[in-house]
Structure 1
Amino acid sequence: MSTETEANRFFVGTGDSETRVWKPLALLNLYRLLISGLFTGLFYSGYLLPPLASHDPVLFYAVSLFYFAAAIVFILLISNRWPRFDIQVYLQIGTDILATVLLMHASGSITSGLGTLLIVAVAGGSIVMGGRHPLMFAALATLAVLAEQFYAQYIGLGEPNNYTQAGILGLVLFVTALAVHGFAHRIRESEALAQRRGLDLANMSQLTEHIIQRMQTGIIVTDNEDQIRLMNESAWYMLGMPSATHYSRLGQLSAELADQLQRWEADPGTDIEMIQPSAEHPRVMPRFARLGQEDATGTLIFLEDATALARQAQQLQLAALGRLTASIAHEIRNPLGAISHAGQLLGESPDLDEHDRRLTGIIGDQSRRMNTIVENIMQLSRRDHSTPRLIELEPFLHKFVREFLSGQGLHPELIGININPAQLQVRFDPTHLDQILTNLCHNAVRHSEEYPGFPKVEIRVALTEESGRPFIDILDHGPGIPPDVAEHIFEPFYTTATSGTGLGLYISRELAEANQAHLNYEPVATGGSCFRITFQDPRRQMH
């Protein structure tokens, strides 16, 4: 979907303006239907009051039936909106003028008082049509009244002084047309302004909702009864993608978050603690704010991904570490190289006994270890930004295992692979994933040396039951990690091996978090160790 098309979805159009001009015409026709139906019913029932139909009952009845039938036909024309609007207005107002004048003539001419019905017809035409049409309708109605009066006097029905009443009625029609036209014009302007304001508000509301849903910060709005009124996608993801919907209570969404909100409501100055829905999801730092000045107006909850905040802090630390390692490389590597070279030359001397050769070996081993530590720190500080792409895990892992085993000269069946479901894809930087797997497999192979069978190490790929997120488990058959040690294994420079640097797991977790994944240690009840890489949810791919 293009950007323009996507943006246009969030703006309300003006397609209902046509409906608003047809509605007054339909209401005017409803009035026409009621009047004609009333006259027809009264005549048919015999309850006509004088002077109705006093001059020509047959004409009165015929015109009433014609008027009623025309109103029914107009209903169909308005519903189908054919012919076009202006033609229907001319047709209907012309029918009103003709039928009213004929009914007036059948009831004794101008003295019957039915001519006042023309005021409604002219006023209705002035409302539905603008421009000069109101004056035209008034002029046609006035000419029709005068023509009827002339014909009535010609046949001996009218009196000469009735021309005065006809003139006054004509004047009233023109005044009505002008007054209603001005009033309708103001109403239309006010309606157009209200429509524009309404469209602006609707557009702003939808745009705001779109922005809130796309924000990386989680947003939750609750009312004074802690019921959820709004929750954006980021909040739903941070809280473990729960099944709770709008108007559910906050406690059903997250008991920890509800408890934090209650503590904050009791004391706004209290310290807010981070929450974590599960080991698969990042830790979340909530923030609370009142909606409005009153206490019962609700609460706005902001959720910040603590992992992202920690990553930003780590980037600052790495920047400082990069400047430090540049000095380390210059100040340590040169004398370290001299020591290593001197130890190597000393070890080549034929006059050394076995004890001295062991000491020179220690010098060489520790020099290489110091050099490895410096290289790892420099690698960590120079770490490039991740460039994730879709990786199909099955071919990637088979290729990795082949290269890892052949490069280390290990048994080809030492590492087993179990992938379910097949064709599983993740979004990750391939070089970062290769480095993480290399570190974890090195550790797994080293700790599984005493295991007699094959495979000694297993790579297992599956989906989590709770959220359907893909993960990779690296399992070994070693002695396992004690709980007190497991708490510190991801800390930099922490190691239980005399030859290790303590940076492998730390770097691996850093690389995982740079790709919006998580690396955790999972205890194994049957023995051994399991390190799990949990990837981002496939429904939330960040580009």
Structure 2
Amino acid sequence: MRTDTDDQPFPFAHAESEAQIWQPLALLNLYRLLISGLFTGLFYSDYLLPPLASHDPVLFYAVSLIYFALAIIFIVLISNRWPRFELQIYLQIGTDILATTLLMHASGSISSGLGTLLIVTVAGGSIVMGGRHPLMFAALATLAVLGEQFTAQFVGLGEPNTYTQAGILGLTLFVTALAVHGFARRIRESEALAQRRGLDLANMSQLTEHIIQRMQTGIMVIDEADRIRLMNESAWYMLGMPSATHYSRLADLSAPLADQAQRWRADPAAEIEMIQPSAEHPRVMPRFARIGQASGSGTLIFLEDATAMARHAQQLQLAALGRLTASIAHEIRNPLGAISHAGQLLGESPQLDEHDRRLTGIIGDQSRRMNTIVENIMQLSRRDHSTPRLIELNHFLPNFLREFVAGQGLRPELIGLNIDSSPLRVRFDPSQLEQILTNLCQNAVRYSEDYPGFPKVVIHAALTGESARPFIDILDHGPGIDPQIAAHIFEPFYTTATSGTGLGLYISRELAEANQAHLNYEPVATGGSCFRITFQDPRRQMH
């Protein structure tokens, strides 16, 4: 379960900001539509109250009807956002000033009171525009009022004292423009700040989700009913890549993990145990933390790959082992070389009988065995870090088998190769994979010597059925391994052979773990043994 938002750039609210710019203009046009529609409707209904249309009813009706039609046209222009925003403001505010002035003239000049509608017009222009434009709208409206007053006085409508009313209205328009402009500027600044904060929060939320999805630690969040609310990519891989969705129950995903969660809720101090989804997946160590203080709050689950923790511990052990082997090489190899050389010289003496020669042979064999043990330990401590690369097993295994048979001097039909037809890609260090396969094939050939048929050893590569992870099986026709012995075969220095060092399988497993793979022994019901290398899913990038 993952959220594929990490491939998208952080969003910027361009479309949303553009809609917010045009919305005040649409609201102002709605006011225009209501006023013009009201005047038109009142004229048709004969409910015009004085002084509306008291001077020139025809002009009042014509202006109201044209004003209403223009308001409808402005709806279309605003919806199409054409022409550009500034031009539409100039056009619409100019229409408002002209229409209001004509309606005021048709109703008996400034004494009609319709001039107060210009306050709404100027205030609306101040909100949708900034800078000096509001003062320009106030100046145009004031000039229109004064011009209408002069015209009314010329035709005998107005009285001299109405100039005072016109002046007060003009002053009111300027004060309104300045006040609303300052208020609108503060609103714009607050809106811009809120938008930036919202954008920062959205970016931070997406960045947090990106980090959670890319964390190597598995993260899960479950609610009080054990329903999954969040699961990052690492947790999905650790739990075997299940087919889970939001609000799936944790018990359906992993019953052992659900049991651990219930046990932790009952007793937070209880000991937490590792879980393993299947034999082919690594062991996982869960950790739990409560989200919030309420009793019904959710639970945060951390999943740590036990293989990674073991690998870190192994590195610390190898560092100590490296210092120890340096002392071993100095303190043991020199005396061991002297013993081996003395035994060799003693064995060349002609005075020795057959019994003494057997004893000198034992000295030589055990000296060589001790030298092999020291070399293996030094090789383990000096092992280079893994450099995984993408390997095509369909090509790698035939080349390995050809070189192994030639290098060991074996007959080609001794080892069979069975590779699935589907492409098998793994991430592994090629030299270390070759070392593991060489060790396993040598053991398989040695224990299958008594098998009469061919091939005596089979290398089988395919994909697992559940999670489609690549694997390689090394199958032999030997006597098999007793279950009690199988529990210890990967321990260092454990061997049942008199000539073995007990480090081959241990080193092989360590190399597999270093490449995030697993080496396990699989019992075979029909006889023989099977060692399986289960690789990390190649779709998961190694770090």
Q: TM-score, normalised by structure 1?
A: 0.95
**Is the aligned partner of 1:136 residue 2:136?**
yes
1:374 Cα offset (Å): 0.8
**Is the aligned partner of 1:152 residue 2:152?**
yes
- Opposite residue 478 of structure 1, the aligned amino acid is G
Following superposition of structure 1 onto structure 2, how do residues 350-429 of structure 1 map, counting pairs within 5 Å?
350-429=350-429
**3-state DSSP of counterpart to 1:472:** strand
- Mapped partners of 1:232, 1:12: distance in 2: 25
- Mapped partners of 2:18, 2:275: distance in 1: 54
Contact 1:12 1:199 in 2 (8 A): yes
- Mapped partners of 1:506, 1:540: distance in 2: 26
- Opposite residue 160 of structure 2, the aligned amino acid is P
Q: Match for residue 3 of structure 1?
A: none
1:171 Cα offset (Å): 2.1
Q: Match for residue 178 of structure 2?
A: 178
**Is the aligned partner of 1:99 residue 2:99?**
yes
**Is the aligned partner of 1:196 residue 2:196?**
yes
- Mapped partners of 2:107, 2:116: distance in 1: 13
- Opposite residue 126 of structure 1, the aligned amino acid is S
**3-state DSSP of counterpart to 1:94:** helix
1:51 Cα offset (Å): 3.0
- Mapped partners of 2:521, 2:49: distance in 1: 98
Q: Match for residue 169 of structure 1?
A: 169
1:381 Cα offset (Å): 0.7
Following superposition of structure 1 onto structure 2, how do residues 122-521 of structure 1 map, counting pairs within 5 Å?
122-521=122-521
- Mapped partners of 2:539, 2:215: distance in 1: 16
Contact 1:12 1:202 in 2 (8 A): no
1:375 Cα offset (Å): 0.8
- Opposite residue 240 of structure 2, the aligned amino acid is G
- Mapped partners of 1:118, 1:10: distance in 2: 44
Measured against aligned partners, the alpha-carbon deviations of 1:59-88 in whole angstroms (never above 9, x if no partner) come to: 222212211222222223223333322221
Gap regions ≥5 residues in structure 2: 1-5
Q: Match for residue 79 of structure 2?
A: 79
1:379 Cα offset (Å): 0.6
1:422 Cα offset (Å): 4.4
**3-state DSSP of counterpart to 1:154:** helix
**3-state DSSP of counterpart to 1:285:** strand
- Mapped partners of 1:368, 1:15: distance in 2: 79
Q: 1:410 to 1:293 in 2, by over 3 A?
A: same
- Mapped partners of 1:336, 1:530: distance in 2: 37
- Opposite residue 208 of structure 1, the aligned amino acid is T
**3-state DSSP of counterpart to 1:466:** coil
Q: Match for residue 527 of structure 1?
A: 527
- Mapped partners of 1:307, 1:11: distance in 2: 38
Gap regions ≥5 residues in structure 1: 1-5
- Mapped partners of 1:353, 1:13: distance in 2: 98
Measured against aligned partners, the alpha-carbon deviations of 1:102-137 in whole angstroms (never above 9, x if no partner) come to: 112222222322222111110000101111221211
- Mapped partners of 1:53, 1:522: distance in 2: 102
- Opposite residue 195 of structure 2, the aligned amino acid is Q
Identity among equivalent positions (%) equals 85
- Opposite residue 54 of structure 1, the aligned amino acid is S
1:458 Cα offset (Å): 0.6
- Mapped partners of 2:10, 2:516: distance in 1: 30
User: Which segment is superposed worse, 19-28 or 437-446?
Assistant: 19-28
- Mapped partners of 1:20, 1:202: distance in 2: 19
- Mapped partners of 2:94, 2:539: distance in 1: 64
Contact 1:11 1:206 in 2 (8 A): no
**3-state DSSP of counterpart to 1:391:** strand
1:247 Cα offset (Å): 2.1
Q: Match for residue 51 of structure 1?
A: 51
Contact 1:238 1:305 in 2 (8 A): yes
1:303 Cα offset (Å): 1.0
- Mapped partners of 1:293, 1:113: distance in 2: 63
- Mapped partners of 1:181, 1:398: distance in 2: 81
- Mapped partners of 1:64, 1:351: distance in 2: 139
Q: Match for residue 22 of structure 2?
A: 22
- Mapped partners of 2:228, 2:56: distance in 1: 72
Measured against aligned partners, the alpha-carbon deviations of 1:356-391 in whole angstroms (never above 9, x if no partner) come to: 222222222111111111111111111100111111
User: Which segment is superposed worse, 354-363 or 527-536?
Assistant: 354-363
1:90 Cα offset (Å): 1.1
1:40 Cα offset (Å): 2.3
1:11 Cα offset (Å): 5.5
- Mapped partners of 2:69, 2:89: distance in 1: 17
1:535 Cα offset (Å): 0.9
1:355 Cα offset (Å): 2.2
RMSD of aligned alpha carbons: 1.8
1:7 Cα offset (Å): 9.1
**3-state DSSP of counterpart to 1:297:** coil
1:515 Cα offset (Å): 0.7
- Mapped partners of 1:366, 1:13: distance in 2: 78
**3-state DSSP of counterpart to 2:475:** strand
Following superposition of structure 1 onto structure 2, how do residues 4-43 of structure 1 map, counting pairs within 5 Å?
9-10=9-10, 12=12, 14=14, 16-43=16-43
**3-state DSSP of counterpart to 1:479:** coil
Contact 1:458 1:475 in 2 (8 A): yes
1:227 Cα offset (Å): 2.0
Q: 1:291 to 1:12 in 2, by over 3 A?
A: farther
Measured against aligned partners, the alpha-carbon deviations of 1:9-65 in whole angstroms (never above 9, x if no partner) come to: 235465643332222112111211222222223333444333332322222222122
User: Which segment is superposed worse, 432-441 or 240-249?
Assistant: 240-249
- Mapped partners of 1:145, 1:13: distance in 2: 42
- Opposite residue 143 of structure 2, the aligned amino acid is L
- Mapped partners of 1:50, 1:280: distance in 2: 92
- Mapped partners of 1:322, 1:146: distance in 2: 100
Contact 1:283 1:305 in 2 (8 A): yes
**3-state DSSP of counterpart to 1:10:** coil
